[in-house]
Amino acid sequence: MRKLALSDEILMSIEKPARYIGGEYNSVMKDKEKIDIRFCMCFPDVYEIGMSHLGIQILYDMFNRREDTWCERVYSPWPDLDAVMREKNIPLFAMESQDNIKDFDFLGITLQYEMCYTNILQVLDLSQIPMKSENRKKGDPVVIGGGPCAYNPEPIADFFDIFYIGEGETVYDILLDLYKEYKHSDMSRREFLIKASNIPGLYVPCLYDVCYNEDGTIADFGPKYGNVPEKIVKQVVNDMSSAVYPENPIVPFMKVTQDRIVLEIMRGCIRGCRFCQAGMIYRPTRPKKVEVLKHYAEKMLASSGQEEISFSSLSSSDYESLYELTDCLIEKMNHEHVNISLPSLRIDAFSLDVMSKIQDVKKNSLTFAPEAGTQRLRNVINKGLTKEDILNGSLQAFLGGWNKVKLYFMMGLPTETYEDIEGIAELSEEITELYFANIPKEKRDGRVMVTASASYFVPKPFTPFQWASMLEPEEFVKRAYHVKDRFRAAKNHKSLKFQYHEADITILEGLLARGDRKLCDVIYDVYMSGQIFDAWTEYFHKENWENALSKHGIDIGFYTYRERSTDEILPWDFIDIGVTKEFMKREWERAKAEQVTPNCRQKCSGCGAAKFGGGVCFEAKN
Amino acid sequence: MKLRIKYSKLGNLRFIGHLDVMRYFQKTIRRAGLHVSYSKGYSPHQIISFAAPLAMCITSDGEYFDGEFEEISTSGEMIDALNQYGVEELKVSECVLLPDEAKNSMSVVAASDYMITFKALTEEESSGRMLEKENVTNIGNIETDDTASENAKHILECVADFHSQSEIVILKKTKKSEKEENIKPGILKIAVKDNGIYMLLSTGSTYNLKPELVMEALCQYAGISYNFFDFHIHRIETYMEDENGDLMPLYKAGRNF
């Protein structure tokens, strides 16, 4: 039996001990005597969140296919256990073997959102691994980061040895083979890192220098040595259908956030919304073959025993074989009691038909993401959803028996005016009007409810809005109140609800998203002041950030409220995502001119992603 | 067809909760391809129900759930299927077919028996179960000196006298109040066995007595401060009453098929 790293006393004194004991069905155990590389994958948040992440499941499966490698998992210990581990000086351990992470060869950390950066330091610190790359020696784990936030790795550059830019399925084997050479020879850590930096897609931050102008902008960025590449090219899986995918996903004992099988149907998005980073970094759009998906659905449901399956993609409605796939699964649902959940669907006759088959219309709400309140602003952000689409969709939904509608908006988008945000209330009210006008009294079952939620816009690297300014928190709050008042004054206010997010966290997200290396010291000090779990409102303390920022003389406005010039060297410019900066500039101009850019299937806009040689860019040419 | 399934909950899985065990079996039944019945409606769920929930940190060889099945093969095949698609620490040992009129396991539970072993004593005991040994090495820094084992031996010496009291009164704390309660009627048997304590206690809806409460009372009687982590509690079996009012393991209500 596996010996647990924590004693009974500790496990019984904390919340949900199942977070730390491992042993889940389909988790992988190996004989460590026969293993050369111990790899620990980390999601720097609590178990329930981390276990719901598809990327780790893919990489876990991929690494464990290698006979010489054992990949295990670790998640952030919740604050209750964090305190105990510090007090008793217990090193952080991996779920499977319960062995200390400091004895591993690799610690791979997935970077899904900026507000988990302090948790990265928590994991390193609790593991008793030197927090800064410069202090690590041969024998310490290689700390590697990947995921969407790796597209601007600079604010956390000091803490990582390597960043993997792009999709994990491509070059890890080369890195692991190189690592074995390093481990079993007298190759120095520096030598190893230089060799690693020559593997496509791998960025080794300590091998690069940054110089700043007096105004704080970047004057120069480049490699310190001639044998280190200047540009890092994003790694892309060319054929999604043949890419590795976990047939035997881990089945947690605990209820986790996504307690279901996730089928990735497509990577990338054809839409080109100008605020959306995923829509740019995952270009080109690459659908999986429907036969492959049916095969995986079958296999994964059988091997996990899960009762629910969900699709993962940025825009499921753009998956061309969606009808065939859902039909096949609905069949399965009826025979084998499998529930289907369909996120990110455009609301139209087809999706309503599918949804009425798979869910109880009375209990569920329909979701639209207009993102902006007026057509003008939707054109600015290139959200190809018109008011007619929303109203028609809602009407059909009401006729189909639904009476709850959710609308997602952003506030603080570039060029946004008060008229635009008033549009949020107007559109919501119009939808309720539609209900009262079209659903006769005797057919009304419960109250119609339209819930609008607004988050604040955060400009992200590698989007046409990467140069845009962000609103200050006071203005965010002012706009939120303004909209709230409109909702209160609405005729059908009893059927309307307006929710909005907290502004303080959003500003910090904005800071970290487009930050540079100067922020490493800030994050370090924030962590040292005891801050972890920033993404959890109850643990987020704004003062810790304010203190560290002022200590280092960092003006948050420089990173967030300032509109950048398109000539400025951006911290992430050394990364080549295929989509060119020229395209981004063009899109930024078109945004300001309120011009819509057609999606990839309507007309190629020459973004540059075609250079990867696959996906939607070549669909018409086959 | 109504089946009753007996399973063990061992080792590290003593740290998963009752709801997690339910969710685990729902999934294992699906993986094993068994034809369990589902309720009707938009969110159908398996028709299964669990008997007396086990507290965390306690292991057991006598856990039960009942399930309604559309199709069955043989007891042996179904046990093998559940074990093949399950984890080591949740092992199925019995699978019987209940008569149609049988009440569900939750409502018929009358008693459970437990073996309490002292961590201080099992360390040197070769007869100790694997689990206790693991526990001891696990904790590492518990009192390895003689005090702990002396205390344990003293508690063992007190068992007979403890049980011969006419009343065993404890202070039961609830959220609202504290009240005295005589737990003696709930202790059906208690005896020293293999350097540990065997006890048979009332369990279920009529009267439910937890083994840790008995240990607390016993420690108090022995004049030794009670610490839950000084011993390990293992449930051996869960019982119901037969037509004569005698106790029998829950699986005896059905038959192998």
Instruction: Return d(Cα B145, Cα B160) in angstroms, integer.
Output: 26
- Does domain A8-233 correspond to CATH entry 1.10.540.10? no
In this structure, the number of other CB atoms found within 10 A of the CB of residue A604 comes to 14
pLDDT at A261: 94
For chain A, positions 6-65, list CB contacts with chain B under 8 A.
7-9, 11-12, 17-18, 21-23, 25
CA dihedral A223, A227, A232, A238 (to 10 degrees): 180
B137 at A interface, C-beta within 8 A: yes
- Could you tell me the CA-to-CA distances from A221 to A87, A145, A225, A326, A612 in Å, in that order? 42, 20, 12, 49, 26
Give the A:B interface size as CB pairs under 8 Å: 88
Q: Residue B131: pLDDT above 80?
A: no
Least confident of A223-227, A337-341, A465-469: A337-341
Q: Residue A531: pLDDT above 90?
A: yes
- B226's CB contacts (< 8 A; 6+ apart) are B215, B216, B219, B220
In this structure, the number of other CB atoms found within 10 A of the CB of residue A274 comes to 24
Q: Residue A517: pLDDT above 90?
A: yes
- Does domain A239-356+581-622 correspond to CATH entry 3.30.750.210? yes
CATH number of the A360-501 domain: 3.30.750.200
pLDDT at A215: 95
Nearest CA in chain B to A5: B138
Helix, strand, coil % in chain B, rounded to nearest 5: 35, 30, 35
pLDDT class of A360 with cuts at 50, 70, 90: low
Instruction: Return d(Cα A146, Cα A110) in angstroms, integer.
Output: 5
Closest residue by Cα to residue A42 from A79, A13, A71: A71
Take residue A114 and report the two structure tokens written for it. Answer: 């900026």
Instruction: Return d(Cα A216, Cα A556) in angstroms, integer.
Output: 12
B contact test, residue of A253, A306, A338, A341 with most B CBs within 10 A = A253
Question: Are A239-356+581-622 and A360-501 equal in CATH topology?
Answer: yes
pLDDT at A621: 57
Instruction: Return d(Cα B155, Cα B192) in angstroms, integer.
Output: 10
Instruction: Return d(Cα A453, Cα A458) in angstroms, integer.
Output: 16
Q: Residue A238: pLDDT above 70?
A: yes
pLDDT at A284: 96
Nearest CA in chain B to A18: B16
pLDDT class of B230 with cuts at 50, 70, 90: very high
pLDDT at A137: 97
- Which tens digit of pLDDT belongs to each residue from B142-199? 445 578 889 999 999 999 999 999 999 988 777 788 888 999 999 999 999 999 999 9
Q: Domain boundaries in chain A?
A: 8-233, 239-356+581-622, 360-501
Average pLDDT, integer, range A193-221: 97
Closest residue by Cα to residue A124 from A137, A147, A148, A140: A140
Q: Which of A134-138, A337-341, B36-40 has the highest mean pLDDT?
A: A134-138
Q: pLDDT: is A342 or A180 the higher one?
A: A180
Nearest CA in chain A to B41: A360
- Please confirm whether the linkage preceding A284 is cis (ω < 30° from 0): yes
pLDDT at A337: 86
Q: In chain B, what are the domains? A: 2-107 (3.30.70.580), 111-245 (no CATH)
For chain A, positions 203-262, list CB contacts with chain B under 8 A.
251, 253-255
- Which tens digit of pLDDT belongs to each residue from A365-421? 788 899 999 999 999 999 988 899 899 989 988 888 888 899 999 999 999 999 999
Least confident of A266-275, A453-462, B147-156: B147-156
pLDDT at B138: 47
pLDDT class of A363 with cuts at 50, 70, 90: low
pLDDT at B173: 77
B40 at A interface, C-beta within 8 A: no
Using CB atoms, pick whichever of A23, A301, A337 lies closest to residue B12: A23
Beta bridge partners of A499: A453
A contact test, residue of B9, B16, B34 with most A CBs within 10 A = B16
Average pLDDT, integer, range A97-101: 97
- Which tens digit of pLDDT belongs to each residue from A126-161? 999 999 999 999 999 999 999 999 999 999 999 999
Average pLDDT, integer, range A422-427: 96
pLDDT at B134: 44
- Could you tell me the CA-to-CA distances from A69 to A101, A136, A173, A177 in Å, in that order? 15, 22, 10, 11
What ipTM was predicted for this assembly? 0.91
Type of residue at A272? G
By DSSP bridging, strand A208-212 and strand A218-223 are antiparallel
Beta bridge partners of A286: A267
Least confident of A328-337, A495-504, A590-599, B216-225: A328-337
Mean pLDDT of chain B, nearest integer: 89
Q: Residue A124: pLDDT above 50?
A: yes
pLDDT at A147: 97
Q: Residue B136: pLDDT above 60?
A: no
Average pLDDT, integer, range A487-498: 93
By DSSP bridging, strand A202-203 and strand A162-164 are antiparallel
Q: Residue B127: pLDDT above 60?
A: no
Mean pLDDT of chain A, nearest integer: 94
Beta bridge partners of A411: A456
pLDDT at A344: 67
Beta carbons of A21 and B12 less than 8 Å apart: yes
Beta carbons of A304 and B229 less than 8 Å apart: no
Beta carbons of B12 and A2 less than 8 Å apart: yes
- Cα angle: A491, vertex A495, A496; to 5 degrees: 80
- B45's CB contacts (< 8 A; 6+ apart) are B26, B38, B39
pTM: 0.94
Half-sphere exposure (CA, 13 Å, Cβ side) for A167?
A: 22
Beta carbons of B42 and A363 less than 8 Å apart: yes
Nearest CA in chain A to B37: A337
Judging contacts by C-beta atoms under 8 Å, the chain B residues touching residue A7 are 138-140, 229
CA quadruple A436, A437, A439, A441: dihedral sign: positive
